[in-house]
Structure formats: C-alpha cells, structure tokens
Homo-oligomer: A and B are copies of this chain.
C-alpha cells in the first residue's frame, strides 16, 4: 500500500474501490452496471464524469452507460448536466442528493404499505393474518415518519462536521 499523494490518482486504486463498492451495492440488490457507474462517480474527484470517461474506466459500451445512467437518474441518484455548447453530457452525484435518494427508498415503503393495506382489507382486519399484516403496516408507517426526522438530524450533524457547502 503506497501512501496516496494528493497529487496523483492511482487508477488501479480507484478501480479497486469502484469494483469493491459496486459489488456491495449489487449484493444489496442493485443492478451491476448502475452500481459500477455510481461507484465510479463517487470516486471521481469532480463528482462528475462524461459518458466516454465512464465507458473507458469501466470498459463497457456507450449503450451500457446510457442504460445505467437512465436508471440512476430515475432513482435521483445522479443528475445529468449538459455543458452549454457541447453535445457532451456529464453525470454528477451531488453528495446530498443521493442521501435523499436513499431516503427516496421510502417510495418503496409506500408501495409496500399499499400492498399491505390491500391485504388487510381482503383478508379481513379481524383475522389472525389480517392482524399480522396490520402490525407490519404499522411498522412501515412508523418508519416513514421517523426517516424524515432522521434526515433532518443528519443535515444538522453534517453541517457540524463539514460546514454547509451544498
């Protein structure tokens, strides 16, 4: 392990982190290519890369990058920018933005809640199964409320640690 100088970026080290972190994201249920693209962006100095740069670093075709980026943008984990006067697009992770996106996982929660409500309704709130589903539903509703408060606390905490540059 060479001590990393702030001056030069070791592509080998970058790649190692990117692939390792992406693997963890994959294990948590994310698709491979979006995970790799996302990790690459996280590990970039500017926080933004072009399609070509991503393709080169990850050794994949433009088509693959395009698909991955579309997915990430839908999940609000990256945003697209177009530098005016160029058809080149840049994809960027705003640090903040993506915590909020993780929180957007509560879009997932909402869908779970909907499915559970339908279950309670059709099985009957008074049946044992219905009661179990109700309780599960209550859990998710509780979590929903907590997450918002938690993110608020994070913002305060973050400011204390890093200052509030956005």
**Which A residues have a C-beta under 8 Å from some C-beta of B?**
1, 4-6, 9-10, 13-14, 16-17, 20-21, 24-25, 27-30, 42-47, 93, 95, 99, 105, 108, 111-112, 115-116, 118-119, 121-124, 126-130, 132-133, 135-136, 138-139, 142-143, 146, 150, 153-154, 157-158, 161-162
Chain B residues contacting A142 (CB-CB under 8 Å) are: 153-154, 157-158
Contact A143 B150 (CB under 8 A): yes
Minimum-distance CB pairs A-B, first 8: A29-B29, A4-B124, A17-B119, A45-B128, A13-B122, A21-B115, A6-B126, A45-B129
Assembled-state Cα–Cα distance A13/B130 (Å): 12
Once A136-B95, A143-B150 are accepted as A-B contacts, the answer to whether A43 and B129 lie under 8 Å apart by CB is yes
Interface SS of A by simple majority:
helix
Task: Decide yes or no: A127 and B20 within 8 Å by CB, A29-B29, A142-B157 being known contacts.
Answer: no
Task: Give this chain's copy count.
Answer: 2
A116 with B30: CB separation less than 8 A: no
